[in-house]
Structure 1
Amino acid sequence: MSDSFDLDRAAEGLASAWRAGAQPAGLRADVRPRSLAEGYDVQDRLIALLGHAVVGWKIGLAGRNFYRGAGLSRPIFGRILAPRRHVSGEDVIVPRDASVTIELEIALVLACDAGPVVTPDLIESAHIGFEIVSSRLPDRQRIGVPATIADNCVSHAVV
């Protein structure tokens, strides 16, 4: 394993894949995040490079069995970007050569920004939604949690 990690190159590669709607051939060691912190650092840089407004948050590995099965103590988080949020009836373009999964979700609209203490009165409304999951990286089941986080938790779009 390489001792160096190139955060900028990792984020730029993911941003290029997001824009092109394509998958790179692989993830080299120097651009593969090795820790959750590196994964979130790449995700932060990716979001900045894409330049889209963040309109919400997504939770990945939300069930206790899912995050514990991945060796984690809590779920992982990604962002919902404005051009990737769709209303019912809109067409959603998905990558042609990538694996795509559609997940039924509960979408919460918050009444205000949440702080460190979350209470039920923060929820303004709840809705049925769908997340279209598709990684910009090949073999999303084997890339590891830090790379999944870097790839905005493999979220492609939400409806």
Structure 2
Amino acid sequence: MQENLGHQSIAEAFVDARKTASAFHSYPGEIPQSMDEGYAIQDIAIALDGRQIGGWKVGRVPPDRVEKFAAERLSGPIFVDEITDAANGDVPEMPIYGDGFAAAEAEVLLRLGSVPQEECDIDTVTRYIDDVRVGIEIASSPFSQINGYGPAVTVSDFGNNKGIVLGPSIAEWRDADLLTMPVSLQIDGETVGSNNMADMLDGPFGSVVFLLNLLRKRNRAITPGIWVSAGAITGVHDVESGQTVKAGFGDNLEASCKLVAI
């Protein structure tokens, strides 16, 4: 019971800080020591927040933490009001916690259709995806040191997510070799990272399989239309208010946004 009370107070601290844009520089309670603890805090925070979930971000657990936390990936909710469609080439303003942590990541974003109850694998999960877009994840938290305390802490604050930018769809993605598509991320016109999806464990579809299994374990609904932000491709790039971020994919697909502190 005491542990649950601790989880409650941590969740309340994060939800309040996000609503008021109040940064803090130390963890607001006892640091969770397992992924289960992190997700328990996250579940309380989701209920306290009360907004509709429109997607889930998937991130990679640092290799030196995989054994301790018995996980290679982590996840957090993306709320509907923090999903911005910029497929028409707009450069939307995206909020970040100016005194907290803020980063941008080039990602592919996959939309789920109707998903069956039985488990999927990487060869069958594509049947239940109805759109794949290029885009950007905004990773931001009022806790300025969130990435320094391990994946369970990251999970406890919504997986360190503050929204996504949906760029244009990848045409004929089922037949495309997504793993070898060149991806880059620029900040104010300077390229800060480039890579492809071959380094993403088992790729973006593996991220979807992981998420589906995790949501089932957590007894969370998997509803049609949910977006999956599949993980950083070029790295996690620190950003500041006023900067413009552009993610480029292949020869002619891109998504951009401007960052604004709240």
TM-score normalized by structure 1? 0.85
User: Partner of 1:47: helix, strand, or coil?
Assistant: helix
Residues 100-145 of structure 1: per-residue CA shift (max 9 Å, x gap): 2110110001121364224221111100010011122121231221
**Segments ≥4 residues shifted beyond 6 Å:** none
Residue 45 (1) aligns with residue 48 (2): no
User: Partner of 1:15: helix, strand, or coil?
Assistant: helix
Measure, in 2, the Cα distance between the counterparts of 1:51 and 1:127. 27
Q: CA deviation at 1:4?
A: 4.9
> Percent identity at matched positions?
24
RMSD of aligned alpha carbons: 2.0
Larger Rg: 2
The 5 Å alignment of 1:6-155 reads: 6-30=6-30, 32-61=31-60, 66-71=61-66, 72-88=70-86, 89=90, 90-113=92-115, 115=117, 116-118=119-121, 119=124, 120-155=126-161
Do the aligned residues in 2 keep the contact of 1:67 with 1:73 (CA within 8 Å)?
A: no
Do the aligned residues in 1 keep the contact of 2:24 with 2:100 (CA within 8 Å)?
A: no
Query: Where in structure 1 are there 5+ consecutive unaligned residues?
Result: none
Q: CA deviation at 1:24?
A: 2.0
Amino acid corresponding to residue 12 of structure 1 in structure 2: E
Residues 26-69 of structure 1: per-residue CA shift (max 9 Å, x gap): 11443x222111100000111111101011111111xxxx5533
Q: CA deviation at 1:85?
A: 1.0
Number of residue pairs matched by the alignment = 152
- Higher share in strand: 2
Query: Where in structure 2 are there 5+ consecutive unaligned residues?
Result: 166-262
TM-score normalized by structure 2? 0.54
